[in-house]
Homo-oligomer: A and B are copies of this chain.
Amino acid sequence: MNRRDLFAGAAFGLALAATPALAQDESYTIGVAIPSATHGFMGGLNYHAQASIERLEATYPQLDFVLATAGDAGKMVNDIEDMVATRNIDALVVLPFESEPLTSPVQAVKEQGVWVTVVDRGLSVPGIEDLYVAGDNPGFGRVAGEYFAETLEEGDNIVVLRGIPTTLDNERVAAFEEAIEGSGINVLDMQHGNWNRDDAFNVMQDFLSKYDDIDAVWASDDDMAVGVLEAIDQAGRNEEMWVVGGAGMKEIIARIMEGDPMLPVNVTYPPAQIATAIELTALGLVSATPVSGRFIIGSQMITPENAEQFYFPDSPF
């Protein structure tokens, strides 16, 4: 009986019993492979992975977890092979460090009958994973754009900082542009700040020297927002404009909670999506609930009224 059969059998058993009691007789091990906490977003992701594992271990004594973090694709491949060889995992939750080098190793795991959940970055070959969990990139741009369109007046001027040139960035920006279409807002300029604080600082310094009337900035990322705010502060133009970043960095959320007029709102692209992926994978093992498919986590607007829901003081991000 391979692992897939075990998995199927247990789900069946639970359905028969219609109580969680039977499932508790059978124990399962879930492997979680994620990138190391090398920068803000991944720091948050590591925090939420750990928090959801603690919650699940307390809720379901029959579940065990192996969490491995990797600073490069090679280490992640080794981690995953170890999980299968030495821990006999029933399910794998993986945020691929890079798509290409992880595709064959994850496919091999899948072929051994292990449930596979892929998070955020897809693999290079479609259809390998049982469950895909990711943020909503068009929604991320649209929610921000709708706020700009509702809040600004016709003729107001904005500048936009873009991420690293990628499909993902294109999707976000296209949805933002569509949402402000017809609002009469002038987009003075758009430049790539590459989701990087220092690059964003330089781009914003350039915008500030070129344009003497800016009403708002779509920084489109909280790391970039930090660089943008620093440039505005050095130019002494804090009263002139507000800034919308994105992804919910805790320092930014704290300022939204305080009602900072420079940071009126934010848009989620939650590092806690790893928790959604781990929770759903666990649910598939402890119950007969269908959890295969594709879950796109909505991008929500964070306002002073709801900000505390998105504030995680213990998270590094």
Contacts and interface: CB of A to CB of B under 8 A. Distances in A.
Contacts of A291: 276, 297
Contacts of A8: 306, 308-309
A272 B283 CA distance: 13
Given A275-B287, A288-B312, A312-B288, A130 B298 contact: yes
Interface in A274-317: 275-276, 279-280, 283, 287-298, 300, 305-306, 308-309, 311-314
Interface stretch (A13-21, A94-102, A179-187, A197-205): A13-21
Given A8-B308, A20-B59, A295 B298 contact: no
Contacts of A270: 290
Q: Which of A7, A11, A296, A309 counts the most B-chain CB atoms under 10 A from its CB?
A: A309
A301 to B, nearest CB: 11
Contacts of A287: 52, 55, 275, 279
Interface of A: 4-5, 7-9, 11-12, 15-16, 18-20, 51-52, 54-55, 58-59, 130-131, 136, 268, 270, 272-273, 275-276, 279-280, 283, 287-298, 300, 305-306, 308-309, 311-314
Contact of A293 (B9, B130, B283, B295): B295
A233 B55 CA distance: 54
B290 A54 contact: no
Nearest to A60: B59
B314 A16 contact: yes
Q: Which of A4, A12, A130 counts the most B-chain CB atoms under 10 A from its CB?
A: A12
A275 B288 contact: yes
Contacts of A136: 293-294
Contacts of A16: 313-314
A294 B292 contact: no
A238 B274 CA distance: 50
B311 A12 contact: yes
A96 B244 CA distance: 36
A58 B279 contact: no
Contact of A18 (B59, B296, B306, B314): B314
Given A55-B20, A55-B287, A270-B290, A9 B308 contact: yes
A273 B293 CA distance: 11
